[in-house]
Amino acid sequence: MSARPPVLVDIKFNPEGVARVLKTAFADRGSINLADPGHQARDLRAVEYALLWKPDADLFARAPNLKVIFSGGAGVDHIIGMAGLPEIPIVRFVDRSLTTRMSEWVVMQCLMHLRGQYAHDNHQRQREWAKLIAPEAAEVTVGVMGLGILGQDAVAKLRVMGFNVIGWSRSRKQIDGVETFDASELDNFLARTDILVGLLPLTPETSGFYDAGLLAKLRRNGALGQAVFINAGRGKSQVEADIVSAIRNGTLGGASLDVFEAEPLASDSPLWDLQNVFLTPHDAAVSEENALFRHVETQIARFERGEPLQFVVDRAAGY
């Protein structure tokens, strides 16, 4: 056994999967898994690396000698506001499989709205043979908010399906064949958008961002004849009461939500019963444990060789 301190793991998802993969991960130093009752009281003072997803509030007090924090997912909003967060690098999870899964979800939701899948599902249950004539994807403009790792992959795959795609981000991006807008051009971007896809991180700027005022600025006279809102970024970026009103008063013709203000979504939320609304339980792009632990091993090896860490969060920007 080497003298290297074990890696601390405090991840509040899929405990069986985490325990299984931890049997072979970090072979050179071992790990402390706080989900394991036998580990919960362990002394964490020597720990240098922590892999966290919604960690316990006292974690940083218990582990005062951390050198790097790894997020168990692409987002870091579950860590960034925590009391006692040390001034050390925070590395988020970036992985091909996670990116691919998100794009699958985004493309599927856009296609379901394009092709009237909600109506088809209803017709099928009623044994009704009812043809729907949908516009072509090229007649519909999908506006992607957030042109980071996930947004740019979704843009590329939406384009393969033939959609007209435009994009919006804090700083303007150059993407071949895609008209892009920066933060100051929000209204122009919204006025051109038939289907809005939210792939933004949760920060003070994006909290409560998708509200009635924003949704009302989407184009409603495009080929779909309605505006659609799709969000797989973070639920606290959306005002659910406004989405419900927008669906009921026709400002929105449909929505797809993978994330919610409070998760799990309350069983009495009006969102469950709305017409042309698809809900998924924050599983658009899950972090696969094998890939997550390999990524952390790779980054620790880089760090210990003196190479720069990858995917480090900009603490001032909050993502």
d(CA 279, CA 224): 20
CB contact at 8 A, 93 and 72: yes
Q: Any contact of residue 147 with ligand NAP (CB under 6 A)?
A: yes
Please report, for residues 92, 207, 301, 308, 317, the alpha-carbon distance to residue 203 in angstroms, rounded to integers and kept in the order given. Answer: 15, 6, 30, 25, 8
Q: How many residues bind ligand NAP (CB under 6 A)?
A: 30
- Contact code string over 7-46 relative to ligand NAP, x by CB under 6 A: ----------------------------------------
Please report, for residues 68, 210, 228, 241, 244, the alpha-carbon distance to residue 270 in angstroms, rounded to integers and kept in the order given. Answer: 42, 17, 18, 9, 7
Helix or strand holding residue 179 (H, E): strand 179-181
Q: Judged by CB under 6 A, which of 21, 59, 155, 200 binds ligand NAP?
A: 200
**Residue appearing with tokens 């509030």:** 57
Q: How far is the CB of 314 from ligand NAP (least distance, A)?
A: 8
Q: Judged by CB under 6 A, which of 56, 104, 205, 297 binds ligand NAP?
A: 205
Q: How far is the CB of 293 from ligand NAP (least distance, A)?
A: 17
d(CA 86, CA 29): 23
Q: Judged by CB under 6 A, which of 165, 199, 224, 300 binds ligand NAP?
A: 199
Q: Is 262 left (phi over 0), alpha (psi -120 to 50) or beta?
A: beta
Q: How far is the CB of 174 from ligand NAP (least distance, A)?
A: 11
Q: How far is the CB of 29 from ligand NAP (least distance, A)?
A: 28
Using the minimum distance from each CB to ligand NAP, give the nearer residue, 154 or 274: 154
Q: Pick the catalytic residue from 4, 172, 220, 282.
A: 282
CB contact at 8 A, 248 and 276: no
Catalytic residue ranges: 234, 282
Residues that bind ligand NAP (CB under 6 A): 73-75, 102, 146-151, 169-171, 183, 199-203, 205-206, 232-234, 258-259, 282, 284-285, 319
